[in-house]
Amino acid sequence: MKIEWQGVMPAMTTCFDANSKVDLDFMARHCRWLVDNGCAGIIALGSLGEGATLEFDEKLAILKACVRAVGDRAPVVAGVSALSTAEAVRLAKAAAECGCHGLMVLPPYVYASGDWREMKAHVAAIIEATTLPCMLYNNPIAYGTDFLPEQIRELAEEHENLQAVKESSADVRRVTAIRALVGDRLRIFVGVDDVIVEGVNAGAVGWVAGLANALPRESVALFNYAKDGERDKAFELYRWFLPLLRMDTVPKFVQLIKLVQQEVGMGNARVRPPRLELVGEELAGALATIRAALEARPAALL
């Protein structure tokens, strides 16, 4: 299956049961539900997928479950991250063997002081590990490494199967800066939920979305309104959605997004340590925001 690299692709959460084991049955059902509601693909094992807390065998089991769940209806993209380059390469090759259709390439975990030579060597090794089309994931806020537009162009010039960028710097100017250097050579995805309309207006063609895990119809509608230039509808839906979308931009985004999933009846709030579920006033405040938004859901715009 060819990846078109456009539209809404959820950064899928990883569901855990009461014993902190991966709930593969639910994840398969979640995949199908996301595609049924208009999502263009599935991205597993990313930051929101708690990839850093998953064992290698768990990652492979998740990828296989997602591929089986959606079949030929939508592409499955594997997030590739690891402490070492060797392990990341191993995961990239295994993802291809699992039937994944593409890779989302993350910078190294923990090693935030790497210079461009080291960053380039790491991601290049992953991109070269298979022939699968790849998306570069740039998130300087989370990972402390920043792929500058000039460096992204360099990677694109050297690697034909690098086809897209997930830009999560939260600076919309990066979208126009990358486009100015690479034109249509790379497809640009917004990776921060609360700048999606601005990012699309700047030229992004896709959205790696967090809240889509709980609200895929709303996410797809918002993206399409922005893409199609329906400004009034986009504004109204965005205004309603922003209190939830902002939950994607804070340190406890995983806990918050899973809490929204629980509130809509599609998942639970369980996370794997060192993360812990929200409690006390923090939980009460989050639930108040979520429930107020869900009660005001603008069905007329969907």
Amino acid 301: pLDDT: 80
Which residues have C-beta within 8 Å of that of residue 2, sequence separation ≥ 6? none
CA 195 to mean position of chain CA atoms: 14
β-pairing, 134-138 with 42-44? unpaired
Tell me which CATH code domain 7-230 carries: 3.20.20.70
- Which residue among 137, 143, 225, 238 is the active-site one? 137
pLDDT given at position 112: 77
Band (pLDDT 50/70/90 cuts) for residue 109 is confident
- Candidates 223, 242, 237; CA nearest to 299 is 237
What pTM did the predictor assign?
Answer: 0.97
Dihedral sign computed on CA atoms, order 261, 265, 271, 275 = positive
| Rounded alpha-carbon distances, angstroms, from residue 279 to 251, 256, 259, 284, 302 | 15, 11, 11, 8, 33
pLDDT tens by residue, 192-245: 999 999 999 999 999 999 999 999 999 999 999 999 999 999 999 999 999 999
Q: Is 64 a catalytic residue?
A: no
Whole-number percent of the chain with pLDDT over 90: 93
Q: Find the mean pLDDT for residues 115-133.
A: 96
For the chain, the average pLDDT equals 96
pLDDT by residue (tens digit) across 28-49? 999 999 999 999 999 999 999 9
| Chain segment 243-296, per-residue pLDDT in tens | 999 999 999 999 999 999 999 999 999 999 999 999 999 999 999 999 999 999
The answer to whether 206 and 175 are in contact (CB under 8 A) is no
Catalytic-residue membership of 59:
no
22 within 8 A of 14, measured Cβ to Cβ: yes
> Is residue 165 marked as binding?
no
Catalytic residue among 166, 227, 233, 258: 166
Instruction: Match 């609200």 to its residue by tokens.
Output: 215
- Residue 142 is predicted with a pLDDT of 86
The pLDDT confidence band at residue 144, using thresholds 50, 70 and 90, is: confident
How is the chain split into domains, by residue range? Answer: 7-230
Mean pLDDT for the stretch of residues 150-157:
98
Arithmetic mean of pLDDT, 4-17? 98
